[in-house]
Amino acid sequence: MVIIMERKIFAALCCVLLLWTLTGCQLAKESAGTNAQTQDDRLIGVFITTEHLDLFDFESYLSDNLKSFQGGEISANGNSQKYQGRLYAVLAPRTLKNEETGETSVTHEYVFEGIEGISYFAPTIPSAADENSYVSSMSDAVISDGHMSLNYSDDEKTMSLEATIYVTSLGSNRTFHFNPVYQCADGDVYALTGDAFRFDYDTYSEEGVVFSQTLDAAVTTTENGVTKSDSSSVKTSISIMFAPERVAILEMDPDSMILSRTEYDPGAMPETIELDTSTAYIIVETHKRSGSGPVYVSREIYDADAENIETFYARPDGICVKHWMRVI
């Protein structure tokens, strides 16, 4: 694939740490007095929400610190981090269907039930009667350009995740909360309240502006004089994309003459496209618009032997989803 037109404006990470507020609303928590994260738990990804993930154990905090109430303020005794709770994921079955053969298979995935968010993590699925344990990438539909890397050796294990979420300019500010996800030695998967950043579309309204956030963690153990390390890195980027309004597929002959031109609604792209036998290459035109601004057109070229064509459509919430159209 050759990119004909591409505009990218990279911006430095603009993080605004959001202070959690002490409220009685709790989604999930551990027993009081237990640290939110155990030292040996592995960082396996991120759970992105647009609302603050309130896991603070206010009852325990109040019980332990009420005696220090002075002048209208409570002075915390010790580290308030120990009052942060966990949001546990549930291991649930998922049925997959092969679109070509119609055959189905059942796998398993960890889900945070009842909480809206974007999952992007790589847990170890425990072994079952008919299969051994394995590492699986849990990736929401809005995760684009995802890449997972696993490297194992006798004394070192590393995992890296990297992906992009494309969002349109909706004329209002938006906040994304990056809640780290960990896995315990016994297999339990949980999320902690994370940091957040918010960006102003009035300031960063150009297509291609990118905001990135990286989570890093490492666990080191020594046994019988042998030191082993287990490290993880999770990089997630938020990139602004003008809202796709229509997509045109042009089939071109060897002399660069147009054989056909078909327009589609971005959200109604077909699953497959059958090319003319004379098609030498394909031009994909995406017509986009930012608010009430002018139409912006991007073009991409695909060879006739390409297996898939990639396009995007915008959901009502302004998040863009990548669509793969198979070439036959």
Distance separating alpha carbons of residues 323 and 328, to the nearest angstrom: 16
> Is-contact 285 301, C-beta < 8 A?
no
103-128 confidence digits (pLDDT tens): 887 778 899 999 999 999 999 988 77
Question: Taking every pair of C-alpha atoms in the chain, what is the biggest distance, in angstroms?
Answer: 84
Query: CA neighbours within 13 Å on the CB side: how many for 64?
Result: 14
Give the span between the Cα atoms of 91 and 94, in whole angstroms. 10
Give the per-residue pLDDT at 76.
52
| pLDDT higher than 80, residue 97 | no
Least confident residue range of 58-62, 155-159, 190-194, 224-228? 58-62
Where exactly are the structural domains of the chain?
A: 9-62+79-240, 243-327
Segment 201-227, tens digit of pLDDT: 666 668 888 889 999 999 888 888 888
Most confident of 31-40, 188-197, 285-294: 188-197
Determine the pLDDT at residue 235.
96
pTM beyond 0.85, yes or no: no
- pLDDT value of residue 28: 38
In eight-state DSSP terms, residue 36 is S
**Whole-angstrom distance, CA of residue 80 vs CA of residue 77:** 8
CA distance 227 to 292: 59
How, if at all, do strands 272-273 and 281-289 pair?
A: unpaired
Residue 48, pLDDT > 90, answer yes
Spatial distance between the Cα atoms of 122 and 114, rounded to a whole number of angstroms: 20
Token pair recorded at residue 296: 């912006």
The Cα–Cα gap between 284 and 310 comes to 9
C-alpha span between 325 and 328 (Å, rounded): 10
**SS3 state of residue 61:** helix
DSSP state, residue 266: G
Provide the percentage of residues in the chain whose pLDDT is more than 90. Answer: 49
CA–CA distance, 205 with 258 (Å, rounded to integer): 34
Rounded to whole angstroms, the Cα distance separating 21 from 18 reads 9
The answer to whether the beta carbons of residues 120 and 143 sit under 8 Å apart is: yes
* Lowest-pLDDT choice from 66-75, 78-87, 137-146, 286-295: 66-75
